Amino acid sequence: MSEKIRAGVVTGKEYEKLVAACKDGGYALAAVNVTSSSTVNAVLEAAARNNSDVIIQVSNGGAGFFGGPAYPDSLRGKILGAVSLARHIHLMAEGYGVCVVLHTDHANRGLLPWIDGLLEEGRKFREETGKPLYTSHMIDLSEEPLEENIGTCAEYLDKMAALDMSLEIELGVTGGEEDGVGSEHTGADNPKLYTQPEDVAYAYEKLNPLGHFSVAASFGNVHGVYKPGNVKLRPVILKDSQELMSERYNLPEKSLDLVFHGGSGSSEAEISEAVSYGVFKMNVDTDLQYAYSEPVGTYVNANQNAFIAQIDPETGKPLKNKYDPRKWVRQAELGMGVKLDEIFSVLNSKGKSLAEK
């Protein structure tokens, strides 16, 4: 049985214990992109209900939305938005009784100033509390030559390790686009969508001496949901990478900590196979955006008068109890929770929280 961890945001060695428990236990954590306190609370509620640990992450655009699109300084607003979101989670997560990994999603080279700002804010938070603000950050330079990608990632991992943080990198390209960051590459035959095991070995040699890192290795992944035939996942690439690492560096099996991007729309069989090869984290965004939004449309359709007038034009009665945002936003949260119930089950993380009770 895996060692228990205090509920709340996990970082450093506790994060590494959580990752190891996932791989040993044959399950993965859902990584959910959030944009508001409402989406954060929906994730925490569902994780607690399922007794499942979870990864809550935010993109640069999501952080900007959390901070307010009208903030005068766009970069500073996105930094402060990510800080505000993280502090909300630090305050609330422990009370929900599950372990939460705090992570930032795709940051290409143009977004590195955002990461720089968050590292500075993380340094101040660590001085204040004794732990980093975020568990990990992702740097996605997968469109660049391998040496440039890993060279920059090494510089940042050195900084993050000093703050007791981890780094997520991407090798190979995840097709499609997510929140302004991504690739035009799609199609089942595009070689850029498939990471080469030798590239993984190169990254290991450069990064392993510096600190803890995880790898988003592409095996045909594409952000979003596409028509059948457009995406062909090849999880065996992950197996080949793990075997190469074991043979070349005399490491235990499944020693790499692997991440599955573009999980929305994947079949249960594809997900299970990827998890069996050492995937501990699967990003799910598109499906959850729809799950959050669809109930709002249903609610509005069922209460149309409340969204055209404050007084019901048919009955003359006030409609405040219908258009109150707490009513329809709550429907969105519940819809997101239902989808998360399904995701936790598919990832086999339900009932496996390491949080001390």
How many other C-beta atoms are found inside a 10 Å radius of the C-beta of residue 120? 11
Q: Is 105 a catalytic residue?
A: yes
149 touches 169 (CB < 8 A): yes
Q: Which of 24, 53, 105, 257 is catalytic?
A: 105
Where in the chain does DSSP place strands (E)?
A: 8-9, 29-33, 54-58, 99-104, 136-139, 166-171, 176-178, 181-183, 213-217, 258-260, 279-284
How many CA atoms lie within 13 Å of 194's alpha carbon, on the beta-carbon side?
14
The residue type found at 49 is R
Q: Which residues pair with 59 in a beta bridge?
A: none
What number of other Cβ atoms are within 10 A of residue 107's Cβ? 22
47 Cβ contact list (under 8 Å, min separation 6) = 53, 54, 96, 98, 100, 340, 344, 353
Give phi and psi for 92, each to the nearest 5: -100, -30
Residues labelled as active-site residues = 105
